[in-house]
C-alpha cells in the first residue's frame, strides 16, 4: 500500500487542496490519500474559525464520490496542537507494510524546520511537495533533500483565507470549492460577519 497523508487546516477545503491531492495521487501512484484536518496548526497564529467537526464534514463533502480519498478525523479527536510527527507515527504503526507519503504545498515545506521533530517526520514518510501558485517548492536548509519528492501542479492561486474573506463579503465561492461545501457554508452561516 502506498498511502498519501495530507494535513491542513481546511478552513475551508478548496479546489487547490483537491487538485494537489489528485495530482500527487496520480504522479506517485498512491492507493489512497487521507485528508487530515488539524485540530489546530501549531505554526498558525490564529486558530481556525470553523470547528474541527465542521472542517472534517466539509472535507467529507468535498471528497465524496472519490474512492481514493478519505478523511481521517484523528487530529480533531485528539485535540490540542496537531503535530504531524504524532499522526505519522500512529499511521505507520497501524500500517506496518505501507509506504507513507506526506503531501504539502511550498509554503508548508518552507516551514518544515520549525515542525516538531522534522528528522523523524522524514524517517516516517517521504515528503511530497508541490508549487503553491507560481511559488516553487524548495527544500529548506537543514532538511535531508533525498527524502523530498517534487510534483508539479497547475498553478492555483486559491487559499482558504481568500475563501473566508469572500464568504464574509457575500461574494461567490462557486468553482473555488465544491458545491456541497458551499451549501454547507450557507447552511451553517460560516465565515459570515
Ligand atoms: P489559509 O489561507 O487559511 O492559511 P490554506 O489555503 O493555506 O489556508 P491549509 O489548510 O493551511 O490551506 O493548507 C493545507 C495544505 O495545502 C498546505 O500544505 C498548503 O501548502 C497546501 N495548499 C493550500 N492551498 C494550495 C494551493 N492553492 N496550491 C498548492 N498547495 C496548496
What confidence tens digit (pLDDT) does each residue in 152-181 have?
Answer: 999 999 999 999 999 999 999 999 999 999
* CA-to-CA dists, residue 125 to 102, 121, 128, angstroms: 6, 6, 9
What confidence tens digit (pLDDT) does each residue in 28-74 have?
Answer: 999 999 999 999 888 888 899 999 999 999 999 999 999 999 999 99
- Indicate if the alpha-carbon torsion angle 115, 121, 122, 125 is positive or negative: negative
- Ordered by where they begin, the domains of the chain are 2-157 (3.40.50.620)
On the question of pLDDT at 144 being above 90, the answer is no
Cell numbers 517534487 correspond to 150
Mapped onto helix, strand or coil, the DSSP state of residue 4 is strand
Average pLDDT of 108-118?
A: 95
Is pTM beyond 0.95 here?
yes
Cα(156) to centroid(ligand 1), Å: 10
62 close to 42: Cβ distance less than 8 angstroms: no
The string of DSSP codes covering 92-144 is HHH-TTPEEEEEEEHHHHHHGGGSSSHHHHHHH-EEEEE-BTTBPP-PPTTS-
The CA distance from 17 to 61, in Å, is: 13
The CA distance from 62 to 56, in Å, is: 10
What confidence tens digit (pLDDT) does each residue in 71-100 have?
Answer: 999 999 999 999 999 999 999 999 999 999
Give the pocket of ligand 1 (CB within 6 Å).
Answer: 8-11, 16-17, 20, 104-105, 107-108, 130, 132, 156, 158-161
Amino acid at each position: 500500500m502506498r498511502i498519501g497523508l495530507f494535513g491542513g487546516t481546511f478552513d475551508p477545503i478548496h479546489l487547490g487542496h483537491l487538485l494537489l491531492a489528485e495530482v500527487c495521487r496520480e504522479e506517485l501512484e498512491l492507493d489512497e490519500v487521507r485528508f487530515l484536518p488539524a485540530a489546530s496548526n501549531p505554526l498558525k497564529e490564529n486558530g481556525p474559525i470553523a470547528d474541527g467537526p465542521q472542517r472534517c464534514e466539509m472535507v467529507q463533502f468535498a471528497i465524496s464520490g472519490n474512492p481514493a480519498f478519505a478523511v481521517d478525523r484523528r487530529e480533531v479527536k485528539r485535540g490540542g496542537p496537531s503535530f504531524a510527527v504524532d499522526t505519522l507515527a500512529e499511521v505507520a504503526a497501524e500500517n506496518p507494510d505501507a509506504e507513507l507519503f506526506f503531501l504539502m504545498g511550498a509554503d508548508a515545506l518552507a516551514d518544515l524546520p520549525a515542525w516538531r521533530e522534522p528528522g523523524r517526520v522524514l524517517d516516517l514518510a517521504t515528503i511530497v511537495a508541490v508549487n503553491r501558485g507560481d511559488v516553487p517548492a524548495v527544500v529548506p536548509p537543514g532538511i535531508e533533500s533525498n527524502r523530498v519528492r517534487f510534483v508539479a501542479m497547475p498553478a492555483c492561486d486559491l487559499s482558504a483565507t481568500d475563501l473566508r474573506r469572500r464568504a464574509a463579503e457575500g461574494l461567490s465561492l462557486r468553482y473555488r470549492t465544491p458545491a456541497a461545501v458551499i451549501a454547507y457554508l450557507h447552511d451553517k452561516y460560516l465565515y459570515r460577519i
